[in-house]
Amino acid sequence: MSSHRRGGLFRSLIAGTAIAAVAGIAAAQADSITVYTSYEEDELAAFLERMEEDLPDLEVNVLRLSTGDLHARILAEAGNPQHDVIWGWAVTSMVDPRIQDMLEPYEPANIDRVPERFRDPDGRWFAVTGYMGAFCVNNMVLEDKGLPMPSSWEDLLDPVYEGEIVMPNPASSGTGYLQIASLLQMKGEEEGWEFLRALDKNMAQYIKSGSRPCNVASQGEYAIGASYALRAIKNINEGYPITMVIPSEGAGNELEAHGLMASSDNKDAAKRFLDWTLSDAAVDEYYNWKEIVTVSGGSIPQNFLDAGLPEDIGSVMYDMDFAWSAENRDRILEQWQSEFESE
């Protein structure tokens, strides 16, 4: 477990094995909460730093896991939940009935800033941010190997890309699952699975993280990393020689939601935290980090637009059926693992 002080507030980024001890501390302090999240580490740190400015007396202990790993963790702890709040977690996972049964309805201050379509009708969760799939394509690798610039998922079936593509493992990565689920929804399941089998022939590896495929492509290890738009934007801004490609079929996407655990012993503090997530300060920070923000009150940064993100995000987003993605998740992952992880 690593820990540090910033602004007088103790905060922990908790390893999975250390959560019980930290949760015990949280239970003993009225202004201390434990939060589970799948926000990426860099954006998580920025959000927490901004929060400390507004809520300096609130201690927030954080467990950060990838979407799939967090899903497994919460279900494993269902008989004795160890956290107070779910923060920035995939709606596709949040709408799992087993998860929803653990949540207590709560409408935080400023909930009207979030359109109704991004909220649970019963008030158990609300989604403020999101992410969408994109390819990180290394311009130098393409030039060195004489490869064409892809513009679509269909382009990735070209044999010239054999061994040059990496993408996230959908069993552990929310980005990976949204990519698989969007392809199955776009093409229908029969054609979608045939497409994935054909794509697998060009795949170098499946990586646990949603951001790492972009990172390894950015570093020139592979030509193409199927990742998400925000990671591509950040890497472009850091000077990596990549192009962000939003697939012409439409970008699979996921929303990130917050919710209050019914089992929490620190609900007043947890509600203060959830109220803050819809504050002006929080919304300003979301726009600095996220390609999709559902909350009114901000604008897309110019450097996002310069990296290739369209001003009208909706024009490139595939219209995801999140309920379908949730209902079929276990079945899809079981088939995916049986076909592609056993190799």
Tell me how far CA of residue 55 lies from CA of 15, 183, 263, 270, 276, in angstroms. Answer: 24, 42, 23, 12, 8
Quick one: pLDDT at residue 28?
A: 40
Please tell me if the domain spanning 2-130+255-303 has the same topology as the one spanning 131-253+311-341.
yes
Query: Model pTM?
Result: 0.76
Cα separation of 239 and 197, whole Å? 34
CATH number for the region 2-130+255-303 comes to 3.40.190.10
Residue 342: which pLDDT band, with cuts at 50, 70 and 90? low
Answer whether 291's CB lies under 8 Å from 233's CB.
Answer: yes
Length reported for the chain: 343
Strand pairing class (85-90; 32-37):
parallel
Instruction: Write out pLDDT tens, residues 224-257.
Output: 999 999 999 999 999 999 999 999 999 999 999 9
Residue 12: which pLDDT band, with cuts at 50, 70 and 90? very low
Cα separation of 156 and 165, whole Å? 8
CATH number for the region 131-253+311-341 comes to 3.40.190.10
Instruction: Write out pLDDT tens, residues 19-68.
Output: 333 434 434 444 899 999 999 898 999 999 999 999 999 999 999 998 88
Domain spans in the chain, listed from the N-terminal domain onward: 2-130+255-303, 131-253+311-341
Mean pLDDT over all residues of the chain?
A: 89
